[in-house]
Structure 1
Amino acid sequence: MHRDQSPLRARSAPDLVPSLFLELDQMLDEFTRLPMRAKFRFDPAMPAVITVEFLAERGPSLVWLIGRELLLLGTTAMSGSGDVRMWPTLPGGRPASWLLLESEEVEALFEVPTAALVEWLEATYRVTPAETEMAGLNWDGFLMELLSGPATASE
């Protein structure tokens, strides 16, 4: 390594695992698909979480943080519960999975092509294996923030 290169710069996420852009379909109803593009980003500082930005043609994009394990498992079996779920489509078509996102404001179902997604997720696991993804977390800080509760506005 050149002396001007820091280890952090040498291990930056875009260099190790570039963002993945996927063309997917949002299911508006049983018969209507809206083609959409999504950007998947991996940050080695938060390896258990994948940032997915749904790029709208018009208007603001929508960002969701989704568990890396949930995405990988969802390519072969039902995965997730609550706000984010993913499962494979029926066999016979192109390799794809359904990704369901729910919140108070939105419910959206996407058909996600899985071949490129699996290849990209496997690259993230080569950078940070599953067994080490929680090693760098500040558990004390996390617990202190959790126990302190939400901040209240002063009057």
Structure 2
Amino acid sequence: MHRDQSPLRARSAPELVPALHLDLDQMLDEFTRQPVVAVLRFDPDLPAVITVEFMSERGPALVWRLGRELLHRGLTAMSGSGDVRMWPMAPGERPSSWLLFESEEVNALFEVPIPPLAAWLDATYRIIPAEAEMDGLDWDGFLRELLEGPGASPE
């Protein structure tokens, strides 16, 4: 999806699905890995979107919003297009997927462990199933704001 440049934070549902602190490896080059902690949050008000905060020892954290479906599909097959893609690694010692961010600002490749992410995503789908992700959205308000701009009033 996109890197969040706003100060807004996603509301989390810790009583339903606690944030997931995930140890990743960022691939700096073919042979160099840098450990990174990613904190994933699920907001039941925006169930199709997962907020991922990449914690950094050397600077501010980076916040990205990713499609829940992209993450889920990326555990078993190629998923995503454009700036964000995810796919499983070849079978090896530990089941992992690659998560790739490519944009003008960022080019980063992460190794993501599958078991903890899969279990956490399954918990989010038990709260809001995939087929119910768009239920309750204010489509009229969304389209009005999209077409008329922020703050447009209903007729």
Larger Rg: 1
Match of 1:124 in 2: 124
Match of 1:62 in 2: 62
Q: In the alignment, residue 69 of structure 2 is paired with which amino acid?
A: E
Correspondence 1:131-146 to 2 at 5 A: 131-146=131-146
Match of 2:32 in 1: 32
RMSD: 1.5
Indicate the SS of the match to 2:118.
helix
Q: In the alignment, residue 91 of structure 1 is paired with which amino acid?
A: P
User: Whole-Å Cα distance in 2 between the matches of residues 145 and 109 of structure 1?
Assistant: 35
Q: Deviations over 1:128-154 (max 9, x none)?
A: 011111001111111112213589xxx
Runs of 4 or more, structure 1, over 2 Å off, are: 148-151
Q: Deviations over 1:29-85 (max 9, x none)?
A: 111111110000000000000000000012100000000011010000000001110
- Deviation of residue 93 (structure 1)? 2.4
Q: In the alignment, residue 140 of structure 1 is paired with which amino acid?
A: D
Q: In the alignment, residue 92 of structure 1 is paired with which amino acid?
A: G
Give the paired residue count: 140
Please report the TM-score for the alignment, with normalisation by the length of structure 2: 0.86
Q: In the alignment, residue 90 of structure 1 is paired with which amino acid?
A: A
Unmatched runs of 5 consecutive residues or more in structure 2: 1-11
Please report the TM-score for the alignment, with normalisation by the length of structure 1: 0.86
Indicate the SS of the match to 1:87.
strand
User: Whole-Å Cα distance in 2 between the matches of residues 93 and 76 of structure 1?
Assistant: 16
Correspondence 1:102-117 to 2 at 5 A: 102-117=102-117
Mean Cα displacement is larger for which, 116-125 or 98-107?
98-107
Unmatched runs of 5 consecutive residues or more in structure 1: 1-11
Match of 1:72 in 2: 72
Indicate the SS of the match to 1:98.
strand
User: Whole-Å Cα distance in 2 between the matches of residues 74 and 83 of structure 1?
Assistant: 14
Indicate the SS of the match to 1:50.
strand
